[in-house]
Amino acid sequence: MAVSADRLLSAPNDSLGSPIGFISPYVIDAIALGIVLLMVFSDFSNPLVNIGGYSIAGAFALWAALKAKAIHRYITDTPRSKTVSAAQGFAELQGTCEFYGNREIQGFMSGPPCVWHRYFILRPRPIPLQIGASTLPFVIRDNTGLCVVDPNRAKVISASKRSWTSAGAFFSSKYIHYGAKMYVIGEIRAERCPVTSYNENAEVANLLRRWKQDKPWMLEEFDTDHNGELDSQEWNSAVTRAKNISRDLFDQKTTDRVENVIRKPCNGMPMLISDQHPDDLAARFSLLSLFNFAVTAGCFLVAYTLCT
């Protein structure tokens, strides 16, 4: 069942998001490299162990190559759209990122305000390793309109990062700051979302500002002791009435609205979010795919040589 963007927005705004579920080709590369280094610097007397080790490393490299190639084709084959004319289904969007509704997302560990962040913590205790990412929705806007972005389970590539150490622990975070140029590829679906962007403080302040322009009326309504001034108790009475009226006015104009939400595709393909240009991303994954195919060939060639 699809979850609306407003329902996602109601989640707690903490720095510790949900764990990352996307296996990056770079992670698979690290595993393959670790196996290769183990084979090179370890003296295994059994040739079957060496053959099996290089074969497994080649299999991991092939897996990474195929994933990188699939992402490259995903980027290059998906049509680029404007938000106002984006069709339901797969789409690429480019624009600037903004906060969704009235919510400002604070970065990890009091970092700079951002629309998304991912964190990494390495420390001796009590939990040696913590990895996670924010999942609150944000907005991508171009010159035609906007689309809500649900980053849950997305692959996010960001150029902005910060790292530091404190009390023997290592902290690192990557983030996309507010107003950055953004590229998103995923599946767009139209969803009916209830209006929840009510800012009570702003609405009440605006109503009180209008009332102050008619001081005789304010005194007639709230000056109970008729001394020509509003004391603290009388002013609190005015604020309470302003809250009730502003809420009633908002409820009267509240209607369901249909919003376009872009999220991870249902067919298992990754959703990509980046503050880098899509052409640069496509070139990067193309080179990564070629590199891994070369590593695959090298590993299987070494394994074949050991067999003969």
Same domain assignment for residues 139 and 47: yes
d(CA 216, CA 204): 20
Predicted local confidence at residue 11, as pLDDT: 39
Residue 168's region, left for phi above 0, alpha for psi from -120 to 50, else beta, is left
247-288 pLDDT, tens digit each = 776 665 554 455 788 988 887 777 889 988 888 888 998 999
Same domain assignment for residues 206 and 287: no
Q: What pairing do the DSSP bridges indicate for beta strands 89-99 and 138-142?
A: antiparallel
How is residue 130 written in tokens? 């913590």
Please say which residue of 225, 253, 281 terminates a domain: 253
Predicted local confidence at residue 86, as pLDDT: 61
Same domain assignment for residues 175 and 237: no
179-234 pLDDT, tens digit each = 889 999 888 887 765 555 567 787 788 888 888 877 877 888 888 888 888 888 88
Are 161 and 172 contacting, i.e. CB atoms less than 8 angstroms apart? yes
Same domain assignment for residues 102 and 49: yes
- Domain limits for position 231: 200-253
Please say which residue of 253, 276, 292 terminates a domain: 253
Task: For residue 152, give every residue at least 6 positions away whose Cβ sits within 8 Å of its Cβ, in sequence order, or none.
Answer: 8, 18, 135, 263, 264
Are 147 and 96 contacting, i.e. CB atoms less than 8 angstroms apart? no
Same domain assignment for residues 222 and 293: no
The gap between the terminal CA atoms of the chain, to the nearest Å, is: 56
Are 92 and 79 contacting, i.e. CB atoms less than 8 angstroms apart? yes
Determine what percent of the chain is predicted with pLDDT higher than 70. 83
Same domain assignment for residues 132 and 277: yes
Are 34 and 126 contacting, i.e. CB atoms less than 8 angstroms apart? no
How is residue 143 written in tokens? 């010159």
pTM for this one?
Answer: 0.63
Q: What pairing do the DSSP bridges indicate for beta strands 272-274 and 155-157?
A: parallel
Please say which residue of 253, 277, 296 terminates a domain: 253
Same domain assignment for residues 286 and 296: yes
Same domain assignment for residues 137 and 219: no
H/E element, 227: none
Q: Please return the burial class of 93, using the count of CB atoms within 10 Å of its CB with bins 0-12, 13-18 and 19+.
A: buried
Same domain assignment for residues 68 and 208: no
Reported confidence tier of residue 164, pLDDT bands at 50, 70, 90: confident
Same domain assignment for residues 67 and 179: yes
Task: For residue 52, give every residue at least 6 positions away whose Cβ sits within 8 Å of its Cβ, in sequence order, or none.
Answer: none
Measured CA distances, 179 to 107, 114, 141, 142, 147 (Å)? 14, 9, 10, 11, 14
Same domain assignment for residues 301 and 228: no
105-126 pLDDT, tens digit each = 667 776 778 888 888 889 887 7
Torsion angle of C-alpha atoms 29, 71, 20, 125, degrees rounded to 10: 20
Name the residue among 199, 134, 106, 137 with its Cα closest to residue 3: 137
16-39 pLDDT, tens digit each = 333 334 567 878 888 888 888 888
How is residue 186 written in tokens? 């995923």
**SS3 per residue for 105-126:** CCCCCCCCCEEEEEEEEECCCC
Same domain assignment for residues 27 and 150: yes
Domain count, the chain: 2
